[in-house]
Amino acid sequence: MSEVVDQSLQKIAKGTGIIFIGTIIGMLLAFLGRVLVARSFTQTEYGIYSLALVLLNIFVTISLFGLQDGAARQIGYYRGRNDSLKVKGIIFSSIQIVLIASIISSILLFFASDILSTKIFHDPALTAPLKVLAFAIPFLALTQLFVSIFRGFESVKEKVYFQDILRNVLFPAFLIPVVILGLPFIDAIYAFAASIIITFVAFAFYVLKKIPLSLRDSKSNLLATNPVGKELFFFSIPLLGVYLLNQIMNWTDTLTLGFFKTSKMVGLYNGAAPIAGLIGIILSSVGFIYVPVISQLYSKNQLGEIDRGYKVLTKWILSITLPIFLIVFLFPEAVLSFLFGFRYTEAAFTLQILALGFFIHALMGPNGATLIITGKTRFLMWSTFVVVVTNIILNIALIPIFGIAGAAFATTSALAMKNIFWSVKLYYTFKIHPFTKNYLKPVAASVIPILLIYMLVNHLLSATSFWILPLFLILFLVVYSLSILFTRSFDREDIFMLLTLERRLELDLTVVKNVLKEFIK
């Protein structure tokens, strides 16, 4: 493996470790906020909360114009070419675009809230939450853009500090007094909006002091950087389509449930959906730092190095994701009961279907991120459009008959279809794919032992006892680790990744490395 790939994997491993830890903390804190809302208010109010967040995210996505990935890719690309002037132009132009678009979106949502609530979702109680959240749109959009700008410089701690931790700490902190004092549901929405606004203010002060590149002379170079702004805009416009379509696909199930069923059904479904989303946490953590790092390789046309790095990272994504998937898929009642309460266990089958979809998504690795890096944004947009149309048709057909299970099946089908499209395009165009001889060997070797352990654990203990989860996880990790060793599924690149993690986490993995060396072909 070349030194270039070594360096790229080292950067990705370091960034992924930070992002993974931050994302875990952020998701736990976000879950705390969701659980507080779910347990403190009615299922109908939790459904309204979920619908309001869906619409907020859609309007924020429109405001970002695809720049959450577009800015990071373009900054990484021009940093690979050592063109600091164009990097400045990208930063300056992206802030202008998002600021203007987010203000317009805020006004639109505020004045459209009555129509959306009464005519589309048939629930007038949704109007007030939408009006409150409309004011938060510019603050949330600019926060996400700032994260993207630092991401382009391969700096990930800003996402952890502000997006993962600060905002998700503030919301429960503001929500707890609402719950203790028995205040009405709308005050929970005010608490959510306040957490967004205060996070932005703190981040804005940080940006002024810590931005990696001086922008003091940006105004004097505005005419010179304007072509870069146009390039950024036209590169990111298809990404806007992709992200907007992805938002529609991600939330079509919730929106369709809200239309055909009740807010209570929406609340049940949104007990299962965020848990299933945990299965994609490793893939999203890798993708965050993957885009700017690999964009630098692409700027130098190093496709062979990109392919090798893709294979190594996808195998690690699969290996780490599999335990999370098995816990959620095999013990859905216990997971739902532990996180949201016994009332949500009727969504167990729905959770299993969604878990399968997100696992399929993780199996193929960062295929969408690689297509962004290689500039195939128009293909991403049109393929996502086909997937979303299919998803909408399936939701409309299945939800009236099967309810939340039908919504889950539609989402899983869409995730599978999307990954087939993207992986085929990546292989057909660049011959990049995740499959190696060691990719699936440990999974295949561990299937029978895992099923035996599951039947034993499930027979001896109650399925709703959440304390079986760590027991099963420990047994699984032992069996899976042995299967990796005896099938000789480790490559020399995996030893390199362990060395990077060892240095980053300040651990002593000498014994582990010595054992692995004995099993490497």
pLDDT per residue as tens digits for the range 22-33: 777 887 888 788
pLDDT band at 464 (very low <50, low <70, confident <90, very high): very low
CB atoms within 10 A of CB 486: 12
Instruction: Give the residue-averaged pLDDT of 3-16.
Output: 61
Q: b or e along 247-276 (b: 16 or more beta carbons within 10 Å of the residue's beta carbon)?
A: bbbbbbbbbbbbebbebbbbbbbbbbbbbb
Residues 263, 50: Cα–Cα separation, whole Å: 9
Q: Answer yes or no: are the C-beta atoms of 103 and 268 closer than 8 Å.
A: no
Looking at residue 445, its pLDDT comes to 65
Q: Answer yes or no: are the C-beta atoms of 281 and 62 closer than 8 Å.
A: no
The secondary structure of 221-290, three-state, reads CHHHHHHHHHHHHHHHHHHHHHHHHHHHHHHHHHHHHHHHCCHHHHHHHHHHHHHHHHHHHHHHHHHHHH
Residues 355, 409: Cα–Cα separation, whole Å: 11
Instruction: Give the residue-averaged pLDDT of 163-170.
Output: 91
Looking at residue 391, its pLDDT comes to 92
User: Is the confidence at residue 521, as pLDDT, over 60?
Assistant: no
Residues 273, 339: Cα–Cα separation, whole Å: 12
Task: Residue 168: name the closest of 58, 272, 24 by CA.
Answer: 24
Residues 505, 485: Cα–Cα separation, whole Å: 23
User: Is the confidence at residue 477, as pLDDT, over 90?
Assistant: no
Residues 266, 205: Cα–Cα separation, whole Å: 38
User: Is the confidence at residue 223, as pLDDT, over 50?
Assistant: no
Burial class (CB in 10 A: 0-12, 13-18, 19+), 104: middle
Looking at residue 350, its pLDDT comes to 92
User: Is the confidence at residue 83, as pLDDT, over 80?
Assistant: no
Higher pLDDT, 519 or 188: 188
pLDDT band at 222 (very low <50, low <70, confident <90, very high): very low
Instruction: Give the residue-averaged pLDDT of 442-457.
Output: 72
Looking at residue 418, its pLDDT comes to 93
Looking at residue 129, its pLDDT comes to 93
Instruction: Give the residue-averaged pLDDT of 357-367.
Output: 90
User: Is the confidence at residue 12, as pLDDT, over 80?
Assistant: no
pLDDT band at 135 (very low <50, low <70, confident <90, very high): very high
Instruction: Give the residue-averaged pLDDT of 226-248.
Output: 75
* Percent with pLDDT over 90 in the chain: 24
User: Is the confidence at residue 15, as pLDDT, over 90?
Assistant: no
User: Is the confidence at residue 296, as pLDDT, over 90?
Assistant: no
Looking at residue 220, its pLDDT comes to 44
Looking at residue 225, its pLDDT comes to 46
User: Is the confidence at residue 243, as pLDDT, over 90?
Assistant: no
User: Is the confidence at residue 493, as pLDDT, over 70?
Assistant: no
pLDDT band at 177 (very low <50, low <70, confident <90, very high): very high
Instruction: Give the residue-averaged pLDDT of 371-382.
Output: 88
User: Is the confidence at residue 214, as pLDDT, over 60?
Assistant: no
Q: Which of 342-356, 373-387, 454-468 has the lowest mean pLDDT?
A: 454-468
User: Is the confidence at residue 488, as pLDDT, over 80?
Assistant: no
* Mean pLDDT (the chain, rounded): 80
Looking at residue 271, its pLDDT comes to 80
For residue range 48-79, list pLDDT tens digits in order.
Answer: 888 898 889 889 988 988 888 888 888 888 88
Residues 3, 493: Cα–Cα separation, whole Å: 12
Looking at residue 454, its pLDDT comes to 74
* Percent with pLDDT over 70 in the chain: 82
pTM: 0.72
Contacts of 16 (CB under 8 A, 6+ apart): 282, 285, 286, 288, 289
Higher pLDDT, 171 or 338: 171
What CA–CA distances, in Å, run from 31 to 27, 143, 309?
6, 20, 33
Looking at residue 308, its pLDDT comes to 80
Looking at residue 463, its pLDDT comes to 46
Residues 391, 388: Cα–Cα separation, whole Å: 5
Tokens of 489: 């599924």
Q: Which of 9-18, 46-55, 284-293 has the lowest mean pLDDT?
A: 9-18
